[in-house]
Chains A and B, each alone.
Chain A
Amino acid sequence: NAGVTQTPKFQVLKTGQSMTLQCAQDMNHEYMSWYRQDPGMGLRLIHYSVGAGITDQGEVPNGYNVSRSTTEDFPLRLLSAAPSQTSVYFCASSYSGGAGNTIYFGEGSWLTVV
């Protein structure tokens, strides 16, 4: 099973460039989310979606945009990259909300903005 697939694995951007991190899951999960992970900061929620056509902001949404046109895909767009967006990005999915719900993570995307 593929699970949660993120691309690209590594990316270097120049300040001001835009790009899209792709995320796809093949488990028919309704819930999908994007986190960023910085040293000593744990995982911080950027945006999330509870179903196709429904998205909402998390803790650190500024500079990022998302859409959810299908159940499977949840791309994260960086509108104008800044060095502060250098981080590791994780996409995650789960079947639904509620206690005991397992969250599955992708392997991460390492982004450097110079």
Chain B
Amino acid sequence: TQLLEQSPQFLSIQEGENLTVYCNSSSVFSSLQWYRQEPGEGPVLLVTVVTGGEVKKLKRLTFQFGDARKDSSLHITAAQPGDTGLYLCAGPSGGSYIPTFGRGTSLIVHP
């Protein structure tokens, strides 16, 4: 099983602050995905990165895939209360694309 380790586990910040969360592995992944999960709901896909060194932006969210395709980061600029949620990274495990998930980073943004 290819493990994905996420850090930090918890993050509590004020509105307007910047933050970065990390997803690391000792294994190479062909792709990594980031999901956000709000309380009481299922995870929703934010982005997929497939190329080493790739950077993708989604409004105030910037996603980066490491050059060696073993790690990824999510940077949020000027966080807002609506960004509150659990951020999960996921990557394919085994021959079929049935992803394995990291344990997630729980983010709370206070107004």
Contact = CB atoms under 8 A, between A and B. Distances in A.
A99 B50 contact: yes
Contacts, number: 67
B9 to A, nearest CB: 7
A66 B28 CA distance: 31
Interface in B1-58: 1, 6, 9, 30-31, 33, 40-45, 48, 50
Interface residues of A, number: 29
Given A43-B43, A108-B40, A99 B31 contact: yes
B38 to A, nearest CB: 11
A100 interface: yes
Contacts of B31: 99-100
A111 to B, nearest CB: 15
Interface residues of B, number: 27
Interface in A10-43: 31, 33, 35, 40-43
Interface in B72-92: 88, 90, 92
Given A31-B98, A99-B31, A108-B40, A42 B88 contact: yes
Contacts of B104: 42
A43 B90 CA distance: 10
B9 A97 contact: no
A21 B73 CA distance: 35
Given A40-B103, A41-B103, A106-B42, A100 B98 contact: no
Nearest 7 A/B pairs, CB to CB: A105-B42, A97-B97, A99-B31, A42-B103, A43-B101, A42-B101, A48-B98
Interface of B: 1, 6, 9, 30-31, 33, 40-45, 48, 50, 88, 90, 92, 95-104
16 contacts: A31-B98, A40-B9, A42-B102, A43-B101, A44-B101, A48-B96, A50-B96, A58-B98, A90-B42, A92-B42, A98-B97, A99-B30, A99-B31, A100-B50, A101-B48, A107-B41
Given A4-B42, A103-B45, 10 more contacts: A40-B103, A42-B88, A42-B102, A43-B88, A58-B98, A90-B42, A94-B97, A100-B48, A107-B40, A107-B42
